[in-house]
Amino acid sequence: MALRKLDAQALSAALAREQARFAETHPRSRAAFAAGQQHYLYGAPSHWMRRWAGGFPLAVKSARGARVQCVDGFERVDFCLGDTGAMCGHAHPAITQAVAAQLDRGATLMLPTEDAAWVGDELTRRFGLPYWGFTTSATDANRAVIRIARMITGRAKVLVFDGCYHGAVEEAHVALDAEGRVVLRNGIHANATDHARVSKVVPFNDVAALRAALEAGDVACVLAEPFMTNFGMIEPLPGFIAELRRLTSETGTLLVLDETHTFSSGPGGITGRDQLQPDFLVVGKAVGGGVPVGLYGTSAAVAERLWQQVPKVNPATVRQSAHLGFGGTLAGSALQVAAVRAVLAQVLTAPAFAHMTRLAEALAVRSREVIAAHRLPWCVVQLGSRLETMFVADPPRNGADFRRSRDDTLEALLHVYFMNRGVLITPFHCMLLVCPATTEADTDRYVEVLREFCAELCASCGVEA
């Protein structure tokens, strides 16, 4: 059966209609954003917040579990969950209590608390790596491991995969253009960095390109998600991650797995699930339950190499040599450690992941059924509690595949359409995340709106192929 095409002009008209409806029904949010223009560079405390497709972000009144209420009086099912920062669900009582109790005992001291030992044990149990450090964001954790990788290998370059996102990490602001040349991502400013000197980019799932890039022996580390989640969702082909590990080891390159998003796959991320053995692992966002936390873990072998340069414990020299060039004043604070303990002990537990994955799996199956019934050339990819709709019939294998599938108007339309009907989706692409508080009724609502959306789209924008 032929798949349907969508007419670009009709899509733009539908988007304008949905944006007008959103503006009309959200005067207070619109006014809050207008007021924000007086004081914030991009109208809101973070420039990312201006990216919502309605033209302005919702102003939030409160959020609890998987629901968000805006100041205009609407409640929505939240599948955005703070772009993963709220994967625990909003205002989880265990986190609220632990954080409030720690605030009451002292938030940040430049001294550890006894919670640190419990958290260290649990991180090692889940992810397998023996040594850990705290930062205040996943971005910072990535920067820290890149720095360590350079210190111990003496090499300058960082290799990333085309379509990656690892936070505000200079070396990862690169992509491949249509001719396969390395370019700055989305025209991002070069920031006085010679990216040709510090970065290499290869397509995901391309073993030959990876081998060729590593053979020169000038790459300090590969920084990779074990399942790409920031440019659509791109699954590794069978054997790709094993090859990545083999080739990095063979060439003396360190392997960093950034599990900030793929933590959605289960209690120990993909590393724990598949017993992977990276040299470093990074996790952030959800692990702090709303308190800003990044974590990096490393192997015993890497730690030994680091200690050769900066001794582990040596009170006589610690004063001169302690400056590692990363880490912040509030990194590893008592507040962060208490929050992570609450998250790992009471919220993102194995039973919680089982519930989240079951709901996300069912949501993916039902979404695919709706899409197929309307003969739309779209696919849905799911990993644990995360899923994504992409406007291409077959799941992409790399960044170039995903780039070809992009339709900015359709993507914006989908976001505003769902927002106008009580459902929030991550604004940057069509990604949904399920949290422990998400219910079947919440997922039913999504499927109901998707059915309406597809039917309306086919009626107003559909062209027989």
Ligand X SMILES: Cc1ncc(COP(=O)(O)O)c(C=O)c1O
Residues of this chain that interact with ligand X (CB under 6 A) are 137-139, 165-167, 225, 230, 258, 260-261, 284-285
Q: Dmax over Cα atoms in the chain, in whole Å?
A: 77
Smallest gap from Cβ 241 to ligand X, in A, equals 15
Question: Of 348 and 461, which has the nearer Cβ to ligand X?
Answer: 348
CB 98 within 8 A of CB 350: no
Q: Residue of minimal CB distance from ligand X?
A: 167
Q: 3-state class of 369 per DSSP?
A: helix
Alpha helices per DSSP H over 216-349: 240-250, 269-274, 300-309, 318-321, 334-342
- What's the burial of 431, exposed, middle or buried (CB within 10 Å: 0-12/13-18/19+)? buried
Smallest gap from Cβ 232 to ligand X, in A, equals 13
Q: What's the DSSP call for residue 234?
A: B
Smallest gap from Cβ 223 to ligand X, in A, equals 9
Q: Token pair 């954080």 is at which residue?
A: 99
Question: Of 95 and 293, which has the nearer Cβ to ligand X?
Answer: 293
Question: Of 18 and 225, which has the nearer Cβ to ligand X?
Answer: 225
Question: Of 102 and 137, which has the nearer Cβ to ligand X?
Answer: 137
Smallest gap from Cβ 228 to ligand X, in A, equals 9
Smallest gap from Cβ 84 to ligand X, in A, equals 7
Smallest gap from Cβ 311 to ligand X, in A, equals 29
CB 422 within 8 A of CB 449: yes
Q: Token pair 């419990």 is at which residue?
A: 118
Name the amino acid, one letter, at 190.
Answer: A
CB 351 within 8 A of CB 267: no
Q: What's the DSSP call for residue 228?
A: B
How many residues are there in the chain? 465
Q: Token pair 């993102």 is at which residue?
A: 348
Question: Of 19 and 230, which has the nearer Cβ to ligand X?
Answer: 230
Question: Of 22 and 296, which has the nearer Cβ to ligand X?
Answer: 296
Smallest gap from Cβ 212 to ligand X, in A, equals 25
Q: Token pair 């022996």 is at which residue?
A: 217
Question: Of 166 and 445, which has the nearer Cβ to ligand X?
Answer: 166
C-alpha 300: how far from chain center: 27
Question: Of 70 and 433, which has the nearer Cβ to ligand X?
Answer: 433
C-alpha 447: how far from chain center: 23
Smallest gap from Cβ 144 to ligand X, in A, equals 12
CB 295 within 8 A of CB 119: no
Smallest gap from Cβ 282 to ligand X, in A, equals 7
Question: Of 167 and 332, which has the nearer Cβ to ligand X?
Answer: 167
Kind of pairing, strands 131-135 and 67-70? unpaired
